[in-house]
Amino acid sequence: MGLAFSCVLLGCASAVWAANDALPSWTAGPAKQAIVKFVGEVTHKGSPRYVAPAERIAVFDNDGTLWSEQPLYFQFIFLLDQVKAAAPQHPEWKDNPAFKALQSGDHALIAQHQKELLQLMAVANSGMTVAEYDKTIRDWIATARHPKFKKPYTELVFKPQLELLAYLRANGFKTYIVSGGTIEFMRPWAEKVYGIPPEQVVGSSQLIKFELRDGKPTLVRDAKIDFVDDGPGKPVGIYRNIGRWPLIAFGNSDGDLQMLQTVAARPGGGLALIVHHDDAEREFAYDRQSSIGKLDKALDQAQSDGWTVVSMKRDWKRIYP
Amino acid sequence: MGLAFSCVLLGCASAVWAANDALPSWTAGPAKQAIVKFVGEVTHKGSPRYVAPAERIAVFDNDGTLWSEQPLYFQFIFLLDQVKAAAPQHPEWKDNPAFKALQSGDHALIAQHQKELLQLMAVANSGMTVAEYDKTIRDWIATARHPKFKKPYTELVFKPQLELLAYLRANGFKTYIVSGGTIEFMRPWAEKVYGIPPEQVVGSSQLIKFELRDGKPTLVRDAKIDFVDDGPGKPVGIYRNIGRWPLIAFGNSDGDLQMLQTVAARPGGGLALIVHHDDAEREFAYDRQSSIGKLDKALDQAQSDGWTVVSMKRDWKRIYP
């Protein structure tokens, strides 16, 4: 309260006012208020919580935080197509439990085999150059449609989050994706859709090798997962790729728990935010029991530690652009 | 010639003029000219080689390119101190050839055991939190002095390169370090000394693990090298951390060969630059036979492919600030 008061005295009111215009898809309420208050405090020079622009880092999970993730992580739908296409070259997959799960179409079963499926995908696209692989992703993203909404996946991004990303950047923040998905899957469209450039996309990655092909420097994919940027991997990904302690983290599931814990523990205070998917009508409703995007431990800690839980139903006037 | 001509017609002359002021420690000559011409062409909107600001990436090796690296990579001098300090806890090192090489003080022998020594260092600082390790580096950098010049290592950075970094940034480039050294060793001072923020430092890295210590999120160093950002690793590091094809690469040794090849092969053309240490009087003179910073294959390819070789003696009026 002392901070809020000094902030008003020192002129944060103008930042608050500007934010009201910058976040039109956010309902006036505690979530929006928490964001605007925090941004006002860290950006106002006279504030005791002031942070220099170079240090203003905000990290966002992607699946379920910036775009939808049901009925199955969109990268898994791509993976499904990729693995199926490669299956004729891999008769050894026939008895592989992960491959069987994929073929069953059972989302809970697929989610259980998440790690093994990423391995199959790594095998499926190994030997491709990074340029060839990039093309398969661009082609898929351009043509694939969501099973429920019948729209391109890149249109199933959350309008309030696009506004928040732009609002943070306007306040001097560098915005990053920190996702369990792979860097290759997000980079081709993240800049256009989110305004987040390739160098600010942190994600899982496959082993890549340099070779000269006909004298031409070439990067080739190896059949091995190199880094899993999920759960406890997220703070590690942040450390490796950013090397600064983010001020703001936004997630939606237990895969974001350690990232949220890390940001909440920032000296001087960090803002931990969670999207709660509670809107079955406009999007999907799921949390503690979901096989995709399970929000359980992180929800408990949000409640005990006072993290900001954003209800899609209550806090977002619109979902999609 | 056609490009240079249209560039002059379209107004690159003013960029050239500005650069003459921005690079006062560079002798007027072919190296400076190549840089200024290239930057003029890629930044001038009417030029056929124009590149949008978001795509302007320049990558710099660190050891021998931005600061000195003789008589031994500075990180190795730090490593030597670290491993020696940890030796009493590691009686098993007694018969280790890398440890023996380190104790001998023989630089050629130390260079031969580069990889094994990095492993020893990883063991020496394993179990430390990243914050503890960061402190050991800051303390060392603040107090250590170069054996020949008796100055802090951070004063042995190259003045012409500081000017070039600033000149590139003024022309909309994002400047990155891409070094065989570790990210932890460079990040604590790279922003202050080079103007390169932590998130733009790409380097080798050790395995890091997340854990809760007394409920506090903590990153702890594991005794394993995770990624070697040297030689063929450099284009991989660029791919993983930047995800864009750099326009300019600056190196000084065969450890930069693949990075230089990659940038030179950029569609539309890239600028590959090499520092040639040929100034025994003001710095050091070494190339094809050196155990540290060996410049041999990269020098051959520079000569055959027309890369720009920067002679310290001829092209730099001053070496240090």
pLDDT at B110: 87
Under 8 Å between Cβ of B173 and B58 = yes
Q: Under an 8 A CB cutoff, do A208 and B54 touch?
A: no
Half-sphere exposure of B301 (CA within 13 A, CB side): 21
Q: Is the pLDDT assigned to residue A212 strictly greater than 70?
A: yes
Q: How confident is the model at residue B15 (pLDDT cuts 50, 70, 90)?
A: low
Structure tokens at A162: 């696009």
Query: Higher model confidence: residue B19 or residue B78?
Result: B78
Give B316 to chain A, closest Cα distance, Å. Answer: 31
Q: Under an 8 A CB cutoff, do A199 and B239 touch?
A: no
Q: Which chain A residue has its CA at the smallest distance from B210's CA?
A: A232
Taking the C-alpha atoms of residue B17 and residue B32, their distance in angstroms, rounded to an integer, is 12
Taking the C-alpha atoms of residue B253 and residue B266, their distance in angstroms, rounded to an integer, is 20
**Which numeric CATH code is attached to A54-70+150-315?**
3.40.50.1000
Q: Under an 8 A CB cutoff, do A240 and B265 touch?
A: no
Q: Under an 8 A CB cutoff, do A243 and B198 touch?
A: yes
Q: Under an 8 A CB cutoff, do B236 and A219 touch?
A: yes
pLDDT at B3: 42
What is the CB neighbour count within 10 angstroms for residue A254?
21
The answer to whether residue B243 neighbours chain A at the CB level (below 8 Å) is yes
User: Could you tell me if residue A214 is left (phi over 0), alpha (psi between -120 and 50 degrees) or otherwise beta?
Assistant: left
Q: Give phi and psi for B180, each to the nearest 5.
A: -70, -20
Give B251 to chain A, closest Cα distance, Å. Answer: 17
Query: Which amino acid is present at B110?
Result: I
Largest Cα–Cα distance of chain A, in whole Å?
A: 70
Q: Which residues of A touch B197 (CB under 8 A)?
A: 54, 244
B197 vs A54, A211, A219: nearest CB = A54
The answer to whether residue A244 neighbours chain B at the CB level (below 8 Å) is yes
In total, the C-beta contacts within 8 angstroms joining chain A to chain B are 81
N- to C-terminal Cα distance for chain B?
A: 35
The CATH architecture assigned to B55-70+153-315 reads 3-Layer(aba) Sandwich (3.40)
DSSP code per residue over B30-88 = HHHHHHHHHHHHHH-TTSTT---GGG-EEEE--BTTTB---SS-HHHHHHHHHHHHHGG
Q: Residues spanned by CATH 3.40.50.1000 within chain A?
A: 54-70+150-315
Q: Which chain A residue has its CA at the smallest distance from B200's CA?
A: A242
pLDDT at B18: 54
* pLDDT tens figures, B43-101: 999 999 999 999 999 999 999 999 999 998 999 899 888 888 889 999 999 899 999 99
Query: Which amino acid is present at B35?
Result: I
Q: How confident is the model at residue A154 (pLDDT cuts 50, 70, 90)?
A: very high
Q: Is the pLDDT assigned to residue A82 strictly greater than 60?
A: yes
Q: How confident is the model at residue A134 (pLDDT cuts 50, 70, 90)?
A: very high
Chain B interface, best mutation among A240, A260, A305, by max B CB count within 10 A: A240
DSSP, res A283: S
A210 vs B199, B235, B241: nearest CB = B235
Q: What is the average per-residue pLDDT within A216-243?
A: 96
pLDDT at B216: 96
A48's enclosing H/E stretch is: none
Comparing A157-166, A241-250, B103-112, which segment has the lowest mean pLDDT? B103-112
* pLDDT tens figures, A197-208: 999 999 999 999
Taking the C-alpha atoms of residue B223 and residue B221, their distance in angstroms, rounded to an integer, is 7
Under 8 Å between Cβ of B261 and B71 = no
Under 8 Å between Cβ of B175 and B196 = yes
As a whole number, the mean pLDDT across chain A is 92
The answer to whether residue A52 neighbours chain B at the CB level (below 8 Å) is no
Structure tokens at B233: 């690793």
Q: How confident is the model at residue B277 (pLDDT cuts 50, 70, 90)?
A: very high
Supply the Cα-derived Rg of chain B in whole angstroms.
Answer: 20
Q: Residues spanned by CATH 3.40.50.1000 within chain B?
A: 55-70+153-315
Taking the C-alpha atoms of residue B56 and residue B197, their distance in angstroms, rounded to an integer, is 16
Q: Under an 8 A CB cutoff, do B244 and A198 touch?
A: yes
pLDDT at A103: 86
Q: Which chain A residue has its CA at the smallest distance from B53's CA?
A: A197
The answer to whether residue A181 neighbours chain B at the CB level (below 8 Å) is no
Q: Under an 8 A CB cutoff, do B54 and A191 touch?
A: yes
Give A235 to chain B, closest Cα distance, Å. Answer: 7
- For residue A248, list its beta bridge partners: A58, A271
Under 8 Å between Cβ of A302 and A275 = no
DSSP, res B27: P
Half-sphere exposure of B109 (CA within 13 A, CB side): 10
Q: How confident is the model at residue A107 (pLDDT cuts 50, 70, 90)?
A: confident
Q: Which residues of A touch B265 (CB under 8 A)?
A: 216-217
Give A106 to chain B, closest Cα distance, Å. Answer: 32
Under 8 Å between Cβ of A167 and A23 = yes
